């Protein structure tokens, strides 16, 4: 009985290894090199613009996650994302307590998403506020009393089936870009 179990286990392991070998992305007998950073960033920018809306995810004082739909500006060249909110909203208080946030963009028809993990900063006014205004916000901020949220990325992950950018065949880990810890220029 043990011999049968050992052979069955060996067969299962061998089959799994063969399946993984067949599914592994190869080029000329070698594992595919990682996708170029600039291609990933450019594809992420396309997805973010196509999505129009994103989810802003924060942590409250009890460590609970909160997500809400936001109307962001398109990402800047350095991938900083600007959003606006009511100065009395929960998200402002949550960001002041814990400024690590996540932005999530999704485009269903393209089977694509972008996740940005980064640091958020609340901006009260000045030139940035004058630069970041959308006329469709008039009903939300009739007196233009709003705060800007600037999200500086630390890590970006994405999947774009349409562009052939998919996750690891075994772990499903998506391609990622890490950004240097840098002072945001806001």
46/72 same-domain check: yes
DSSP assignment letter at 165: B
Residue in 92, 185, 104 with CA at minimum distance from that of residue 147? 92
142/95 same-domain check: yes
The model's pLDDT over 32-61, given as tens digits with 9 standing for 90+, comes to 556 799 999 999 999 999 999 999 999 999
20/110 same-domain check: no
Sequence-distant (6+) residues with CB within 8 A of 185 are: 78, 80
- Residue 52 domain flag: yes
124/100 same-domain check: yes
**Beta strand segments in the chain, E:** 26-27, 30-31, 54-59, 65-70, 81-85, 100-107, 112-123, 147-160, 176-178
Q: How confident is the model at residue 13 (pLDDT cuts 50, 70, 90)?
A: very low
- Residue 186 domain flag: no
Tokens of 164: 């052939």
C-alpha–C-alpha distance, residues 155 and 153, integer Å: 6
154/101 same-domain check: yes
75/147 same-domain check: yes
100/140 same-domain check: yes
Give the range among 12-26, 53-67, 79-93 with minimum mean pLDDT: 12-26
Instruction: Tell me the pTM.
Output: 0.78
């Amino acid at each position: 009985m043990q011999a049968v179990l050992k052979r069955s286990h060996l067969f299962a392991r061998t089959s799994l290894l063969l399946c993984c070998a067949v599914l592994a992305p190869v080029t000329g007998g070698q594992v595919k090199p990682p996708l170029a950073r600039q291609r990933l960033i450019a594809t992420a920018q396309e997805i973010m613009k196509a999505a129009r809306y994103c989810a802003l995810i924060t942590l409250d004082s009890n460590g609970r996650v909160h997500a809400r739909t936001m109307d962001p500006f398109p990402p800047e060249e350095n991938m900083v994302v600007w959003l606006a909110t009511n100065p009395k909203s929960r998200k402002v208080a949550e960001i002041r307590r814990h400024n690590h946030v996540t932005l999530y963009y999704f485009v269903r028809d393209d089977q694509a998403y972008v996740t940005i993990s980064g640091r958020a900063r609340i901006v009260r006014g000045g030139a940035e506020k004058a630069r970041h205004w959308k006329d469709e916000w008039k009903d939300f901020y009739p007196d233009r009393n709003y705060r800007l949220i600037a999200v500086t990325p630390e890590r970006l992950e994405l999947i774009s089936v349409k562009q052939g950018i998919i996750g690891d065949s075994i772990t499903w880990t998506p391609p990622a870009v890490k950004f240097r810890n840098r002072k945001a220029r806001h």
